[in-house]
Structure 1
Amino acid sequence: MLTKVRYSVKDMTLWTRWETSGFIAYSFLAVFLYEELELTFLAVPWTPIALVGTAVAFILGFQNSAAYGRIWEARKVWGGIVNTSRTWGMKTKDMVTNEYATEPETEAELKEQKRILVYRHIAWLTTLRYAMRQRKKWETFDNHFTNREWSNAIHIPEKVLPIEEALFPYLSPEELRYTMDKNNKSTTLLYLQSNHLRELKEKGLIWEFSFLELENLLQEFLTFQGQSERIKNFPYPRQYATLSYIFVMIFIILLPFGIVPEFSKIATSLTDNFPRISEVFTWLAIPFCTIVSWVFHTMQRIGVVGENPFEGTANDVPISTISRGIEIDLRQLLDEEKSSIPKQFPENKNVQM
């Protein structure tokens, strides 16, 4: 457990290393101007800086709370997809039978019908997670160098494998071509599922009540898909995101010119009793300014990367892992060989994807 904590601190430090270097350089400049060049007119009263810091803290708290709310809502949606998907597998396995069939099919043919329904559902999960990973204009995670560095390190599956190759094992060639020709591929697959269920009902392979039960599950999947798309397609209000960034930068710019004079006063008071310490004490403002600036800026960055819970960041909903977990459960339900079932996506840097 301690190892994971140290590793997380290391990752956070690497993630913000460029900003931290800038804070150190800027704080050094402020101390140099005030202490060595004696430009004491650069001092800023501490009261307005404290007021700005308080306002920044409030808006950052609002931003991070809103971002976490979006992440938590997305997690509940995909949690519902998990439960309903398991129900889909259970009901298709038990409800597709020859009990009311006009022309009974063999066990192998029934098993194939069940496999098609389950595999098409896995294809739906695949298209949905690919749709959620598509970048929107307002998603800014990849604009930052260290964000791209992190994204490349954890290898998000949807950015590595084309969707056609990901769907190939689960759909027939005709269905694959038909699905790839549509804009909303997830909805298309649910329509195909509904059409398939109707055909099975007409053959008597599904009882009418069972048909309604399975159709209700498809309706739930459409609801979950719509909820997921709503989170994806409705961004966190940009005015709040922009204002938080501007306020943080104003605070960081003002901070050294309020802290350095305070440290200089303390250094003066130490002159009689601790002359050697007083000579360098003002320079201790550099690490102090750096730490405070780092905290505010990092909180702002965390809020930004948490605004869109499907981009593939470390704090996002791991939809790739969730989808693969559902696939493993459903294919085990079909009694497939373990060697034919894909493994779960590996964790990179202790992060699920």
Structure 2
Amino acid sequence: MYTKKIFSLPILARWTIRETLLFFIIALIPTILYEVFDLRWLQVPWTPIALIGTAVAFVVGFQNNAAYERIWEARKIWGGIVNTSKTWGMMVMTMVTNNEGEEISENDIKKEVKILTYRHIAWLTALRYAMRQARPWENFDNNKFDTKWKEGLHFPESKLSLEESLLAYLSENELKYVLSKTNKQTAILYLQSMHIKTLKEKKLLWEFSFIELENVLKEFFTLQGQSERIKNFPYPRQYSTIGYFFVWVFIVLIPFGVLPQFEDIGNLLIINYPLIGKCFIWATIPFAVIVSWVFHTMERIGRVGENPFEGTATDVPISTISRGIEIDLRQMLDENPEDIPLQFPEMQNTQM
């Protein structure tokens, strides 16, 4: 089951509840010291804080743009896998034929087509499992609330082992061979290439058809390499770390710059609205919390979007994409609809 969560405002509020409480404390302590204990020296000119805020906005904006580019590039790669997979299915069905009129039945032809098709589904399966493997720099599980957020996400790769998932698509010998290799998806493409070479030697493929199918396999290698590049090359940690610390420096400074500003506004209001004027300085707290929440949430969204295959709610849904390709290919084989697996359900889970 593949579960997606909608990032609505209430969900974001629950996702960031711990940090929001911390923002409240950060704003509350200086306000009490400033107003109750009359420590008027606890203030910082607003101009340098505004400059820091501008720098933070640029850093967070750059981080979010870079994270979005990684997600969008991953989605384009898997979109290419979708199109090329359907091309593979079509070409296999039309090109694997009895060209030389040898004694081979139509059922044997269909069997060869099915093997090539199923092995491609195995490649998709191996690739999505490889994309789900954890990397040291992936940080979603490092945060307690992120981990709780992830508990509602159920992606198939966490439920079944790769071996169990490949059983339906590979023969026993092929499965043993693939599992013995480090890069299992590459091993499967190698088996595909050797198979179509054998079909060419048996005169079940024209020379031109063999070349065309090899070109499609080459395209699969290219798309696989592009997907692996995103998975294996992290978003530069210096940018992510600097953005994180800059945001927190800005959050800590906000109350000290806002306090004198709100005090001045309160002194103006006290003439016509005495009660509001006397209490207006306490508006520093909600104002500081809101500003802090906006900056921190934007930084955090960029942080969790850095790795588009990590298995979070913002990921590229590679499990759903792979299953969709499998359904299309098996329908092209005219299989019994009852034998074709259903799509992984996408549930709109709004509970934390």
Question: Which of the five TM-score ranges fits, normalised by the shorter chain?
Answer: over 0.9
Q: CA deviation at 1:350?
A: 6.5
Give a deviation string over 1:128-180, Cα, whole Å, max 9, x none.
Answer: 11111111111101111222122220212212221111111111111111111
The answer to which of 298-307 and 308-317 deviates more is 308-317
1:34-91 per-position Cα deviation (integer Å, ceiling 9, x unaligned): 1111111111110010000000000111111111111111111111110000000001
CA change 1:19–1:234 in 2 (3 A) is: same
Pairwise mapping of residues 43-62 of structure 1 onto structure 2 (< 5 A)?
43-62=43-62
Corresponding residue of 1:221:
220
Within 5 Å, give how 1:176-325 maps onto structure 2.
176-325=175-324
**Cα pair distance change 1:225/1:210, threshold 3 Å:** same
Which deviates the most, 268-277 or 184-193? Answer: 268-277
Distance 1:320 1:7 in 2: 20
Q: Which has the higher contact order (CA 8 A, sep 6+)?
A: 2
> What's 2:99 paired with?
99
Q: What residue number does 1:18 align with?
A: 18
CA separation in 2, counterparts of 1:80 and 1:7?
A: 27
Letter in 1 for 2:21: S
C-alpha separation in 1, matches of 2:185 and 2:6: 41
| Alignment CA distance shift 1:5-1:141 (3 Å) | closer
2:151 corresponds to: 152
Q: CA deviation at 1:272?
A: 2.1
Q: Give the AA of the match of 1:114.
A: V
Q: What is the Cα deviation at residue 7 of structure 1?
A: 7.0
Please report the TM-score for the alignment, with normalisation by the length of structure 1: 0.95
SS in 1 for 2:8: helix
- SS of 1:348's equivalent? strand
Deviation at 1:13, TM superposition (A): 1.2
> Once superposed, what is the RMSD of the aligned Cα atoms?
1.7
Secondary structure of residue in 2 paired with 1:204 = coil
Aligned length: 347
Secondary structure of 2:255's partner?
helix
Change (3 A) 1:5 1:316: closer
1:253 maps to a residue whose letter is V
Does structure 1 conserve the Cα–Cα contact (< 8 Å) formed by 2:6 and 2:348?
Answer: no
Q: Is the 8 A contact 1:200 1:206 kept in 2?
A: yes
Compared CA separation, residues 5 and 226, structure 1 to 2 (3 A):
closer
Aligned to 2:347: 348
User: For 1:231-285, what per-residue CA distance to the aligned partner results, in whole angstroms no more than 9, with x for missing partners?
Assistant: 1111111110110011001000101111122111211222221111122211111
Deviations 1:75-108 (A, max 9, x none): 111111100000000011111111225x332122
Give me the whole-angstrom Cα distance separating, in 1, the residues matched to 2:6 and 2:94.
Answer: 49
SS of corresponding position for 1:313? coil
Which amino acid is the alignment partner of residue 63 of structure 1? Q
Q: 2:311, 2:232 → 1: CA distance?
A: 16
Change (3 A) 1:77 1:5: closer
Say if 1:263 and 1:11 are closer, same or farther in 2 by CA, change over 3 A.
same
How far, CA to CA, are the matches of 1:348 and 1:285 in structure 2? Answer: 40
